[in-house]
Amino acid sequence: MSTEAAVWIDTAYDTEQASNGHSRYGAYVRDRIDWFADCWDGCDEGVLPARFAATAWRIATGPVMVPGYIRRHRRVLSTELACSYWDGSLLARVDLITPWPQPLRQDSGWVKQTDRGWWRDWPIEFGDAYCEPGDEDLAKAPYLLTTASLRFTVPSAELSDAPRASGGAGLPDPAALLTAAQQSVARAVRAVNRVVWPVIDQLEHS
């Protein structure tokens, strides 16, 4: 597990658990080659890297791959990349688990509920992993779960180029497609970390 990253690629697990002996992510990409078809369907050349990155990321994360090719810091609830309808840029959304806001932490009077007991924060399991409260937990006490949603644009200069389409189906050959998808995900991981990690680092040390 990375200690200084919001997201990272678990290369070792991807190779060890590969059904094809090479890459688990590669098997998922090959099974979903048709997902990339829209990348070249009437797409402007300038928009192509963003569309390609969003598709490659979608395959690399849950619920498609569980566990994902891309792993997340314990504070990261979810990640999503999407192509902007406004200008074709790559939009990122990263939702983080956060402490209670300062106004709630400063005054504890509100914490006690007369009928259900104390409000509780995010549960932690396995030592340091945040988790959703289960039905049994909620039967015993109320939970106030706070999050922050980071929304930002990934500059086009930080994206990997998409492969050129070829063949009757209008798609690159599978080997080229997989290599490009891996490169695209790696570049997107770096771009997301550049923005998100400083926020997580502040939360962890505040």
| Per-residue pLDDT reduced to its tens digit, 111-144 | 776 677 788 999 998 878 999 999 999 988 899 9
Say how many C-beta atoms besides its own lie within 10 A of residue 122's C-beta: 18
Q: What is the pLDDT of residues 94-110, one digit of tens each?
A: 999 999 998 888 877 77
Model pTM?
A: 0.90
Q: Would residue 112 count as lying in a domain? A: no
H or E element, residue 106? helix 102-106
Q: What are the phi and psi torsion angles at 3 (to 5°)?
A: -100, -10
Q: Report, as an integer, the average pLDDT of 166-178.
A: 74
Q: Would residue 108 count as lying in a domain? A: no
115 vs 100, 120, 144, CA distance in Å?
Answer: 22, 14, 16
Judged by average pLDDT, the poorest of 10-24, 62-76, 107-121 is 107-121
Is a pLDDT exceeding 90 seen at residue 63?
yes
Q: Would residue 48 count as lying in a domain? A: yes
CA separation for the pair 8, 194 (Å, rounded): 12
Give the bridge partners for 120, in sequence order: 143
Q: What is the DSSP string of 5-59?
A: -SEEE-HHHHHHT-TTSS-HHHHHHHHTGGGGHHHHSS--TTTHHHHHHHHHHHH
18 vs 12, 69, 153, 175, CA distance in Å?
Answer: 10, 11, 32, 16
Q: Report, as an integer, the average pLDDT of 66-84.
A: 96
Domain count, the chain: 1
List Cβ neighbours of 32 (8 Å cut-off, separation of 6 or more): 59, 64
199 vs 84, 95, 206, CA distance in Å?
Answer: 24, 11, 11
Closest of 90, 81, 70 to residue 6, by C-alpha: 70
**SS3 (DSSP) at 95:** strand
Q: Would residue 61 count as lying in a domain? A: yes
Q: Would residue 142 count as lying in a domain? A: no
Q: Would residue 143 count as lying in a domain? A: no
Q: Would residue 64 count as lying in a domain? A: yes
What local confidence, expressed as pLDDT, does residue 45 receive?
66
DSSP assigned state of 164: P
Q: Which domain holds residue 65?
A: 7-73+157-205
Q: Would residue 128 count as lying in a domain? A: no
